[in-house]
Chains A and B, each alone.
Chain A
């Protein structure tokens, strides 16, 4: 009829008292509409015999016992509640809150001081970086200027060179003279050089 719960049954949990085993009503082998067994048909359920005197004494003792237990329990509960109350709203609670507030203020102050210090360092660093950047930029500009000047100078040199060379160019006037000159001086570009770069031999014109 009563069986120990083998698998979890959430519903019966609030029916059973604390600390005991969870039992559930189970109907056993026979269902509700099955007839009684032949051997149990004339069975009369008789309550267990009790001794009245004993019962009275027992009852008395039980009432006292239960009263004491209840009182103890209430005492303990009250103690706990008092302790909790004192923690939250007690003499020591104020000190604690004050102490915590002080700590908090001190920590905040320390934090602010750290922030200030780091901020100063950072400002110095940032300024240095900005200056460095400016300097680099100026340097780069300077280099560029120099490059430009160099190129200009080179070009000027080239132009001057060309102006010099113009005097050797062939015009209609010195055309004949130059042709005669060229025909009189044949040039030979075939030669061999050794490792030092000196001309070693020339081939004759075939």
Chain B
């Protein structure tokens, strides 16, 4: 199953409420058949700009990273569910597939032959 990363910006709340929100989110995911790999906390920080959501203007928020494996079909419904959650300020799901092993990026460019015409500036 492909691997996704959910960047969750939660409202700046007290600890038990944050715990409850996170628990809710993870349980929803597991209900829909996802396998949660890990959860990281990026701290409670000032948002880069003021975000208005669900009638509240947020200045600070808790950033959380949740990576999981799931089917791609459940994602729209899941995002919709998250948007309706009052405590969630901004949910973002990104793909986290590892790139193929033999990618040719950062390969040294082949040397041009000396007879090549000089590039026009």
* Chain A residues packing against B (C-beta within 8 Å): 154, 165, 168-172, 175-176, 178-180, 182-183, 185-189, 205-206
Contacts and interface: CB of A to CB of B under 8 A. Distances in A.
A176 B19 CA distance: 8
B76 interface: no
Q: Which of B35, B41, B44, B46 has the most CB of A within 10 A?
A: B41
Interface string B55-72: 000000000110000000
B37 A187 contact: no
B45 A182 contact: no
A179 B41 CA distance: 9
B82 interface: no
A179 B40 contact: no
A170 B43 contact: no
A205 B40 contact: no
B30 interface: yes
Interface of B: 15, 18-19, 22-23, 26-27, 30, 35-46, 64-65, 101
Contacts of A165: 37
Given A183-B15, A183-B19, A206-B45, A178 B37 contact: no
Nearest to A165: B37
A172 B22 contact: no
B40 to A, nearest CB: 5
A180 B36 contact: no
Contacts of A154: 101
Contact of B39 (A172, A178, A206): A178
B35 to A, nearest CB: 6
Contacts of B35: 169
B30 A172 contact: yes
Given A169-B36, A170-B36, A170-B37, A182 B23 contact: no
17 contacts: A154-B101, A165-B37, A169-B36, A169-B37, A169-B38, A170-B36, A170-B38, A175-B27, A176-B23, A178-B39, A179-B19, A179-B23, A182-B22, A183-B18, A183-B19, A186-B42, A188-B42
Given A170-B37, A183-B15, A183-B18, A188 B43 contact: yes
Contacts of A169: 35-38
Contacts of A168: 37-38
Nearest to B63: A186
Contacts of B23: 175-176, 179
Contacts of B65: 187
A172 B35 CA distance: 11
